[in-house]
Structure formats: C-alpha cells, structure tokens
Structure 1
Amino acid sequence: MASVVVSIDNTGDTCTLFGFAEVDLTTSMGHAPVQHGSDQPTAVTLAKGGRATFTIWYHPAPADRPGTKAHLLHVTPPGGTQRQTMLWPGTDLADEPDSLATTPLLEEPIGH
C-alpha cells in the first residue's frame, strides 16, 4: 500500500470538522470514488489558520506493469459544499486488486 496525506487549511472562523471528506479521483479510466475506511471519526476543531489532515491509502501499480494514471484529486471537507481540486501527488494506481482483494482506494477520517 502507498499513501497520500491531504491537508485542509481553515481560512475562516473557528470550525469543527467531523467525519470523512468526500474524495474522488479523475483517472485515465474515468471517475474513481475513494471509499471511507472503518476508523471511527472524531471531531476536530480548527481555529483560523488551523490545519487538519487525512490519509488516502491506495495500491500502487507494480513496477513491471503499467497502472491507471490518476490526474486530479477532488476533495470536499466534511459538511462542506466547496470542492477543491488539485493534481494527484501519488503514483499510478494498480489496475487489479492485490491477492487479499483489499479495497484499492480507502481514506481515513479527518484527524486520523
């Protein structure tokens, strides 16, 4: 498994985030939603200028086989309405699940 850590910065008033961000990728194969993991969320209070993070876990493409190219990462914070888009900072995604058939894209809740 490989991971990408995503940061959410608060530029407004103090706020509380709880749960999972809504996350999806734009890939060479189309749209790829990121599933929520099984960790239980906790509330994260952010003062103006504060930062919260979460991690996206994925299966990278094997070195000997091409994978699916991820281009863009789309993130909407928990309870938010404005989606932010950025370039995908990770490597290519595996085209097939691993031998354990684990979820290829999985995110932890905010603050984990």
Structure 2
Amino acid sequence: MRVNKLTFAALAVTATLSLTACQSGDGGKGPSDPSSASTAPSPGGGSPSWSADQGGGKASGGKSSAGPGTPGQGTAAGTGSGANGKAAKCRTDELEITAMDNTIDGDPDGTVAVQLKNRGSRDCTLSGFAGVDLKTNAGSLSAKRSGEQAGAAVLKPGKSVAFGINYPINTSGGSGVRVTGLLVTPPDETKSVTLDWPGAATLPVTEGPGSPVKVGPIGSAGQGD
C-alpha cells in the first residue's frame, strides 16, 4: 500500500511539473507580442504614434505650401484683384465718365474724346472697346469699332484713360441728323451712362448700310492722366 501511494505521488508531481512547463512557455509568448507591437515606432504615422496635441491635420496644415501665408493663395481677398494678382475689371459704378470735343482744325472728321476715371479705392483694368451709341432725332446710331489695335490699361485710384469717337462733319448744307445724346458702356459691362453730346450738332445724312461713326479702343485718345 505504501508503494502505491509513493507511485501515485510521483506521477502527480511529474504531471504538475509538465503542466507548469507548458503554461510557462505559452504564457511567456502570449503577453510579449502585444507589448512589443505597442511600443515599436509606427513608420506610417498610425494612431498609436499621435497624441491629442499632435493631430495629423494640425501638423500638415502648419507646413502646407499652400497655406494662408503663401503668396497668391488667399492674399488677394478684399483687394479687388483677380487670379494671379491681376487687377479686376473696372465696373461702371467705379468710373467717372466724361466726354469732350477733341476735334482738331483741318481734320476731315470730328472727334469726341471720352474719358474714364477710376473713382474707386482699388486698381482696376479697362481693355478693348467701349460700347458707344449716339441718340439722334432719327433713332439710335451705334458706332462701329475702328481697325486700331485694342490694348489694356490698369487704372490706379484717381487715374484715367480715354478713347476717341470719330464722326463725319455735316458739310452738306442741309439740316442733317441731329444728335441729342451719347450712351457709353464700359468694356465688359452691361450698365451704361448717358452723357451730353459735345461734338457737332448734326451728322450728314448718309446712304447705304453701316454706321459713319467709329469708336477707337481704350487708350486711343490722349486725354488720360
């Protein structure tokens, strides 16, 4: 009986040692793996590597080449400038528009110079041709564009530029067509202004299609400053 008890005791001890060895081996590997992963540096900038004060959006925004301090990116807001730092178009309400007789003695045609002055607080651009219509007792007469090269002008506040209107002088001896007013529409605008006509009182009656009145491009008259 004593021999049997010793045998069972020996078997129990052996089984216990074997079970302890197995648990020790598996347990050593189990907790070590997640511990190693959580402390390793993350090359891709994963969530374990960022703290609450190091958010990805904040870091990239502060270093972005297109941030608020970059030239050409948001710096033109409120200045009236357009894309690439260019001055925006002059609007009709920003311009003081006047007309004056500019006919030179001896010229076969009469000339009226129309001046456009920037009365706003920002630089603006005028380019191409303005729209010109003469009001007459026979109806409205639209001026056609001359063959001159169309240019552009950047007007600083208080500065002006002018263009010319050429018309035939009435030498027929007849009453002709009476001019009662001048309608000017700045380039790229739809709003017009009505002015008194400072030129000759009448135009000759012409036969055939087309308008005898011609308008030059912006800068074609020497009245700007």
1:66 deviates by 1.5
Q: Give the equivalent residue in structure 1 for 2:152.
A: 43
Distance 1:75 1:106 in 2: 13
Q: Give the equivalent residue in structure 2 for 1:111.
A: 219
Distance 2:155 2:198 in 1: 25
Decide whether the 8 Å contact of 2:150 with 2:217 is kept in 1.
yes
Q: Give the equivalent residue in structure 1 for 2:119.
A: 11
Query: Could you state the TM-score of these two structures normalised by the residue count of structure 2?
Result: 0.46
More helix, by proportion: 2
More strand, by proportion: 1
Q: State yes or no: 1:93 paired with 2:206.
A: no
| Structure 2 gaps, min length 5 | 1-108, 221-225
- Tell me which amino acid in the other structure corresponds to 2:214: L
Q: Relative contact order, CA 8 A, sep 6+: which one is greater?
A: 1
1:61 deviates by 1.1
Distance 1:49 1:80 in 2: 20
Deviates more, 1:71-80 or 1:60-69: 60-69
1:44 deviates by 0.6
Deviates more, 1:16-25 or 1:81-90: 81-90
Could you give the per-residue CA deviations for residues 32-72 of structure 1, whole angstroms, max 9, x where no partner exists? 00101111111111011111100000002116221111111
- Tell me which amino acid in the other structure corresponds to 2:119: T
Q: 1:78 to 1:106 in 2, by over 3 A?
A: same
Query: Displaced runs of 4+ in structure 1, greater than 4 A?
Result: none
Q: Give the equivalent residue in structure 1 for 2:12.
A: none
| Structure 1 gaps, min length 5 | none
Distance 1:67 1:105 in 2: 14
Partner residue of 1:80 out of 179, 189, 193? 189
- Tell me which amino acid in the other structure corresponds to 1:60: I
Identity rate, percent:
35
Q: Give the greater-gyration-radius structure (CA).
A: 2
Q: CA RMSD in A?
A: 1.7
Query: Could you state the TM-score of these two structures normalised by the residue count of structure 1?
Result: 0.89
1:9 deviates by 1.1
3-state DSSP of counterpart to 1:81:
coil
